[in-house]
């Protein structure tokens, strides 16, 4: 768990104004990687009980736009948030229970950012999701 000072530092580092809702949301996401919005609301409210749903939605949107959080949405699942780390990791998702885990790039740092054809795009991120059965669902 990061201290209040560390959280303020993170927000300022992303050129964001430090607000209590944003701090509560960043800290909730750090403590609950791959959480959906409802779980983030619950966790953030444990720290800041008066926090409204709208304040959490607004904070998630701002923090994601600023690159502090990363949002991804496996097909058939709710949007999930995690703290954005620069390792461009991927996810493995269980198609039965929805369990999600992190998977590092198969070939070194951010190598998946080099597509066979970029169609003239400036590529910023690659979302790769491996689907399958987790150990408890496959046994
Ligand atoms: Zn499973
Ligand atoms: Zn992840």
Q: Looking at the CA of 93, which ligand is closest?
A: 1
Specify the higher pLDDT residue, 115 or 31: 31
Look at residue 103 in the predicted model and tell me its pLDDT. Answer: 86
The arithmetic mean of pLDDT across residues 16-24, rounded, is 96
Q: Which domains does the chain have, with CATH numbers?
A: 4-81 (1.10.10.10), 88-138 (3.30.1490.190)
Least confident of 101-105, 110-114, 127-131: 110-114
Measured distance CA(22)–CA(29) in Å, rounded:
11
Least confident of 21-30, 35-44, 56-65, 88-97: 88-97
Q: Looking at the CA of 72, which ligand is closest?
A: 2
**In this structure, which long-range contacts are made by residues 108-115, counting pairs with CB atoms below 8 Å and at least 24 apart in sequence?**
110/86, 112/88, 113/88
**What is the pLDDT confidence band of residue 107, given thresholds at 50, 70 and 90?**
low
Locate tokens 């690659």: which residue?
126
**What is the pLDDT confidence band of residue 63, given thresholds at 50, 70 and 90?**
very high
User: 92 alpha carbon to ligand 2 midpoint, in Å?
Assistant: 9
User: 101 alpha carbon to ligand 1 midpoint, in Å?
Assistant: 11
Residue 89 has pLDDT above 90, yes or no: no
Say whether pTM exceeds 0.85.
Answer: no
């Amino acid at each position: 768990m990061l201290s209040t000072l560390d959280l303020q530092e993170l927000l300022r580092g992303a050129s964001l104004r430090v607000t209590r809702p944003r701090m509560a949301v960043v800290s909730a996401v750090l403590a609950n990687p791959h959480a959906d919005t409802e779980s983030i609301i619950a966790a953030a409210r444990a720290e800041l009980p008066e926090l409204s749903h709208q304040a959490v939605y607004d904070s998630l949107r701002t923090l994601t736009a600023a690159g502090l959080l990363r949002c991804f949405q496996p097909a058939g699942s709710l949007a999930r948030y995690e703290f954005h780390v620069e390792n461009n990791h991927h996810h493995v998702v269980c198609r039965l229970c929805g369990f999600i885990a992190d998977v590092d790039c198969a070939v070194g740092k951010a190598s998946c950012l080099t597509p066979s054809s970029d169609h003239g795009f400036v590529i910023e991120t690659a979302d790769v999701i491996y689907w399958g059965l987790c150990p408890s669902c496959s046994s």
